[in-house]
Amino acid sequence: MPRALRALRRGITAVVLVGLVLAPSAVDDYTVALLARTLALGLVAVSVALLTGVAGLPTLGQTAPYAAGAYASVVVGGQLSDVGLVHLGVAAAAGAALAAATVPLVVSARGVVVLMITLAVGELVVTIVGRWRSVTGGTDGLAGIPPVRPLWGLPVLATDRARYLYALVVVAVLVGVVLLVLRTRVGLLLRAGRDDEARLRASGHRVALHVAGVHVAAGAVAGAAGSLLVVAQQYVSPADFGFDTSALLLLAVVIGGTWSVGGALIGAAIVIASRDWLFGVLPGQAPLVLGLAFVATVYLLPGAGHRPPAVRGRLLPPALTRRPVPDRPSPTGVRA
């Protein structure tokens, strides 16, 4: 990549990050709350990108650990402590546990089969949540959830701005951790498995273990995002985890997440902004327009019809340039 382009990309990233930090002082409370919810959804999109972009497992079921995390954060976390970190831990554990429970279903399936299984799991969880009134409040949901304090000794997050900044810090830290892990040999093996799983197995690697690991890790990330959703909107109901949300997440990842972790966040922001704008402009037609957008995205994005490279440990995707084939067609130079 040319140095100037790299510098430009870094500059844009820095401007966006500064913009995200300063956003609460530039927009109204409603927009700040919406941004906080978008961050939560963006984190789930990162978990979808982990599965779809890294492990090559397309999923429509990350709303399941997202819901598990949200309700665990309210029901269990609320009884243990009012500290956000505790809620996050409980939510991540719940998301990971739910993902672990579904590992046997997912680990041996691939492609569309995974899509169908995860969709079924997601819908099943939403149904359970809707009917388990004594714990989840049923379809009415749980309202009036008290605000949390980020850490012991800090004040509670009483305003939308405070809750947004908390969500921003948590997302930044978790995305950073995901990027770091993708730079280790774990990320390398996942990318290799996405390229050619049979060959990876033939090299002596335990591919099923890798797939199970990334599935559980993505569940933990989605669970943590559930906790953020509760903090952001102080209300939770099954409607937050329905098929609409699954489809929006997959659309977000198709837009940017299969190319990079940062792309998943950007995709989520674009999708949420578009959805809210469409609700105003075309009342009642937003799902139809988003569906059309999904089809158009799949066909029109750069690289449509080709398998994109796996997500690496980078915030942004590499530039869409093709490296020249080295001018060395035979190994004649080997013995020189």
Partner 1 sequence: MTPLLSAHGVTVRYGSLAALDGVDLRLELGQRHALIGPNGAGKTTLLDVLGGRTRPAAGRVRLAGRDVTRLGPAARARRGVNRIHQRPAGWPTLTVRENVLVAALPRAAPTRRWWPGGARRAAARTTGAMLERVGLAGLGGTLAGHLAHGQRRQLEIAMALAGRPRVLLLDEPAAGLSAVEVEWLVEFLRVLPRSVAVLLVEHRLDLVYALSDTVTVLRDGRTLATGTPAEIRAAEPVRQAYAEGVA
Please report, as ranges, the residues that interact with partner 1 according to CB under 8 A. Answer: 184-186, 188-189, 191-192, 194-196, 199-207, 309-310, 323-326, 328-335
Indicate left, alpha or beta for 305 from its phi (over 0: left) and psi (-120 to 50: alpha): left
Q: Secondary structure of 209-277 in the HEC alphabet?
A: HHHHHHHHHHHHHHHHHHHHHHHHHCCECHHHHCHHHHHHHHHHHHHHHCCCHHHHHHHHHHHHHHHHH
Report the nearest approach of partner 1 to the CB of residue 199 (Å).
7
Report the nearest approach of partner 1 to the CB of residue 208 (Å).
9
Nearer to partner 1 by Cβ, of 2 and 331: the residue is 331
149 DSSP β-pair partners: 83
Nearer to partner 1 by Cβ, of 87 and 194: the residue is 194
> How many residues can be counted in the chain?
336
Cα–Cα distance between 174 and 180 in angstroms, integer?
Answer: 10
Cα–Cα distance between 59 and 70 in angstroms, integer?
Answer: 19
Nearer to partner 1 by Cβ, of 190 and 266: the residue is 190
Report the nearest approach of partner 1 to the CB of residue 188 (Å).
6
Nearer to partner 1 by Cβ, of 126 and 207: the residue is 207
Report the nearest approach of partner 1 to the CB of residue 56 (Å).
11
Report the nearest approach of partner 1 to the CB of residue 7 (Å).
21
Nearer to partner 1 by Cβ, of 27 and 208: the residue is 208
Nearer to partner 1 by Cβ, of 10 and 307: the residue is 307
Cα–Cα distance between 198 and 140 in angstroms, integer?
Answer: 47
Report the nearest approach of partner 1 to the CB of residue 88 (Å).
21
Interior angle at CA 164, CA 180 and CA 24, nearest 5: 115
User: Is the Cβ–Cβ distance between 190 and 55 less than 8 Å?
Assistant: yes
Report the nearest approach of partner 1 to the CB of residue 107 (Å).
14
**Angle formed by the axes of helices 29-49 and 243-252, nearest 10°:** 80
Distance (Å) of CA 53 to CA 45, 95, 213? 11, 20, 15
Q: Which two tokens stand for residue 135?
A: 């714990």
Nearer to partner 1 by Cβ, of 198 and 295: the residue is 198
Q: Which two tokens stand for residue 149?
A: 């304090």
Report the nearest approach of partner 1 to the CB of residue 240 (Å).
34
Nearer to partner 1 by Cβ, of 4 and 323: the residue is 323
